[in-house]
């Protein structure tokens, strides 16, 4: 089980950092994509449309912060709850994209009469899968994006289930998790032909190690988790 937890922390932490940075590279685009999802003709959540940009920015920041928290072992009880909810949220979006019928319809009442309209199928999630265009020449298909989220959930669940047993990194943990995480971030950067995540992650890790030297106990954990 310890090996599975280590693998899950490296994979989930690295993936969340890179995914968050990809979205943060175009927060407006991600916000517009969320507006498409929230539209009446899609998920029928028009009340959330004015908050789409704010939610998009919050999701970007949350992914990056949670990615580092998983690698550092910072406040894992809180971090794993947020990880699970965020993964389920993205899974919900990609499930809609994958299962949407482009010929589907819905009815609304307009001036007391029923009006039939076509549904809006969001063709892609506007996030991680789109970054594949620069390397493989195409985005992930809707079903590939949904499958990716379900595979990610498989690795998030062990962290959530064992969250009470995952503590703040020891020096031995750092020697395993930090190099492995940086290597995996470098692999994703190579796939996406975008090397900024490597520099960003390396800087974050150096900052984490510096904070650990300057602060002790809960102060260091809170500082590196957020």
- For residue range 139-171, list pLDDT tens digits in order: 778 888 889 999 999 999 999 999 999 988 989
Higher pLDDT, 107 or 161: 161
* Orientation of helix 52-72 relative to helix 196-214, angle to 10°: 60
Domain range holding 13?
A: 2-225
Q: What is the pLDDT of residue 120?
A: 77
- For residue range 155-212, list pLDDT tens digits in order: 999 999 999 999 889 899 999 999 999 999 999 999 888 899 999 999 999 999 988 8
Closest C-alpha to 48, from 84, 92, 113, 98: 92
Mean pLDDT (whole number) for 47-51: 90
Average pLDDT, the chain: 86
Q: What is the pLDDT of residue 68?
A: 96
Mean pLDDT (whole number) for 66-74: 94
pLDDT above 80 for 17 = yes
Q: What is the pLDDT of residue 222?
A: 57
The answer to whether the beta carbons of residues 201 and 177 sit under 8 Å apart is: no
Q: What is the pLDDT of residue 40?
A: 82
Main-chain dihedrals φ then ψ at residue 79, nearest 5 degrees: -65, -40
Count of domains observed in the chain = 1
pLDDT above 60 for 82 = yes
Q: What is the pLDDT of residue 145?
A: 86
Which of 89-103, 114-128, 172-186 holds the top average pLDDT?
172-186
What SS3 string covers 97-131?
HHHCCCCCEEEEEECCEEEEEECCCCCCCCCHHHH
Band of residue 61 on the pLDDT scale cut at 50, 70, 90: very high
């Amino acid at each position: 089980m310890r090996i599975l937890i280590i693998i899950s922390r490296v994979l989930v932490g690295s993936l969340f950092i890179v995914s968050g940075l990809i979205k943060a590279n175009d927060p407006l685009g991600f916000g517009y994509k969320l507006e498409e999802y929230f539209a009446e003709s899609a998920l029928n959540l028009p009340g959330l449309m004015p908050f789409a940009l704010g939610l998009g920015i919050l999701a970007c920041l949350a992914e990056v912060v949670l990615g580092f928290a998983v690698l550092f072992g910072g406040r894992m009880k809180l971090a794993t709850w947020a990880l699970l909810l965020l993964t389920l949220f993205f899974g919900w979006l990609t499930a809609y994209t994958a299962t949407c019928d482009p010929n589907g319809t819905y009815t609304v009442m307009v001036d007391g009469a029923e009006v039939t309209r076509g549904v809006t199928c969001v063709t892609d999630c506007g996030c991680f899968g789109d970054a594949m265009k620069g390397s493989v020449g195409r985005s992930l298909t809707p079903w590939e994006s949904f499958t990716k989220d379900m595979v990610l959930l498989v690795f998030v669940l062990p962290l959530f289930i064992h969250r009470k047993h995952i503590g703040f990194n020891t020096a031995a943990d750092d020697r395993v998790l930090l190099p492995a995480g940086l290597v995996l971030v470098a692999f994703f950067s190579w796939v996406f032909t975008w090397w900024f995540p490597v520099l960003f992650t390396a800087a974050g890790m150096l900052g984490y190690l510096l904070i650990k030297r300057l602060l002790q106990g809960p102060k260091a954990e809170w500082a590196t988790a957020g």
